Chains A and B, each alone.
Chain A
């Protein structure tokens, strides 16, 4: 078995002493400050001790308490270990740096998180809606989402 989240958090904290990485025992996951997610992502991918070569899933979440989150589920095929990174941001500044150049699949996952949760990924090359039409209003997976009454003259709620 590979490293536990706690070991990885200690290891990363030594490399990034000022980052303020927090280990969350309940999930378990590591809370990462939004500004550092790209550096941390590159580190965990390229570090031979960690080797997280796969981004299994990237999810946007509305926690319903005025904060949004981006959750990164990572997997290392060679070292057989998993890692969950979590970034929390206030709804008013829903901005996170992109990781699309770290794992290519992040491009589509981030577009989905933008489309459905309304999180803007800074530096993303092609941040368009992916599942909903381009002229749709709002982001459905926000907890305060109100469906629009009409879409191009068609009644929406059925």
Chain B
């Protein structure tokens, strides 16, 4: 890839190759934009000069809807933002309202929330890893990833009846207690899942073709990542050791022993597509470790509904709460005027923020590399557009 690019660049610089700029629309209906995203590409031959992203095809003004809903009614709407990480979305929203209300939730609820959030993180990373492989031409790992994601969705289904949009984590508690045999199911899943990481490593991550497609591509330097507000695997892939579960702890994450996975540029340059991808692969194992420890000290009994308020009217005030979603920092800025509806609810979605850097890191790359870069950012358009 890089050699071809050098030949092209030399040709253009020496004037032997005459090129004209061309504007090409990629999307909104394009498999590698992972949803309805349109990128206006300004091209010099096959080289990307500039990208103008156009979003909003899925916009339904969630923030306006939220103002017309009561606090519990907003929860299902949060599911539909990052629909691959609905549990984490619920969790962040519940935390924001609970902090405004000043209520504590029971131990058992905290444990269930953390286990669910980490299972969801694995499920979400499996989609990201599988589809990223497909973006650069590897179809089989996708099947392995989706097979294992099914096990997680089965667990969610047994507990709350839904497979994608759960409305499970409520303000002050949960919608249902976990099903009988939940702990056994989760432990079974971890046992079945661990070999998959090795399989995906052998098939995809250390595959020569995959490394050629992703290493040195879309390099995001740490200072640029910070200025663009990038978070999650996007930021850690650039070597920044930052994870809200450890650095701005919420729920009971401070009780567990686990590592923050950071990119190291092992295959190419620090902050390239391969680094971002490998952060996700490493994080799945760390999530397994958190879940195992949570299962060990899982409180056997307890009323999950005991802290759910009968009537939710937070006192006047405002709060900004953030949680570590699979894609990065999900922030809720919530203003209460003392009534039963949020006065203003602003969502800072990690997909929206991470996507904003695409123009910066794609300039000078080929269109084929742009597909890899977009896949490595791992956006969910439901959250970009809200």
The answer on a CB contact under 8 Å between B353 and A108 is yes
Q: At the interface, yes or no: B98 with Cβ under 8 Å from chain A?
A: no
Give chain B nearest CB distance to A63 CB in angstroms.
Answer: 9
Interface size of B as a range = 20 to 34
A-side contacts of B63, CB under 8 Å: 116, 141
Taking a contact as CB atoms closer than 8 A, the residue among B242, B344, B352 that contacts A61 in the complex is B344
Q: Closest Cβ of chain B: how far from A2's Cβ, in Å?
A: 12
B12-20, B102-110, B188-196, B221-229: which lies at the A interface?
B221-229
Complex CA distance for A27 and B320, rounded to whole angstroms: 10
Q: Is the CB of A57 within 8 A of B59?
A: no
A131 touches B56 (CB 8 A): yes
Complex CA gap A73/B248 in Å reads: 15
- Tell yes or no: B386 within 8 A of A by CB: yes
Interface string of B269-292 (1 = CB under 8 A from A): 000000000000000000000000
Query: Smallest Cβ distance from A50 to chain B, in angstroms?
Result: 15
Interface residues of B in 322-355 (CB under 8 A from A): 322, 329, 331, 333, 335, 343-344, 346, 348, 352-353
A55 to B55, CA, bound (A): 21
Q: Mark A1-37, 1 if CB is under 8 A from B, else 0.
A: 0000000000000000000000000110000000000
Using Cβ atoms and an 8 Å threshold, which residues of chain B touch A105?
Answer: 227-229, 353, 356
A80 touches B335 (CB 8 A): no
B176 at the interface (CB under 8 A from A): no
B 59-113 contacts with A by CB, 8 A: 59, 61, 63-64
Give B9 Cβ to nearest chain A Cβ, in Å.
26
Question: Which residues in A have their C-beta under 8 angstroms from that of B322?
Answer: 56
A131 touches which of B228, B318, B343, B386 (Cβ 8 Å): B386
The answer on a CB contact under 8 Å between B356 and A107 is yes
CA A77 to CA B240, docked complex, whole Å: 10
- Say yes or no: is A43 at the interface (Cβ < 8 Å to chain B): no
**In the complex, what residues of A have CB within 8 A of residue B386's CB?**
131
**Contacting residues, chain B, for A64 (C-beta < 8 A):** 343
> How many whole Å from A67's CB to the nearest CB in chain B?
13
How far is it, in angstroms, between the C-alpha of A71 and the C-alpha of B335 when the chains are bound?
11
Q: Can you spell out 18 A-B residue pairs with CB atoms less than 8 angstroms apart?
A: A27-B317, A56-B329, A56-B331, A56-B348, A57-B333, A57-B348, A59-B344, A61-B344, A73-B320, A73-B333, A77-B247, A80-B247, A103-B227, A105-B353, A105-B356, A116-B64, A131-B61, A145-B64
What 3 A-B pairs come out closest when comparing CB atoms? Answer: A105-B229, A59-B346, A57-B348
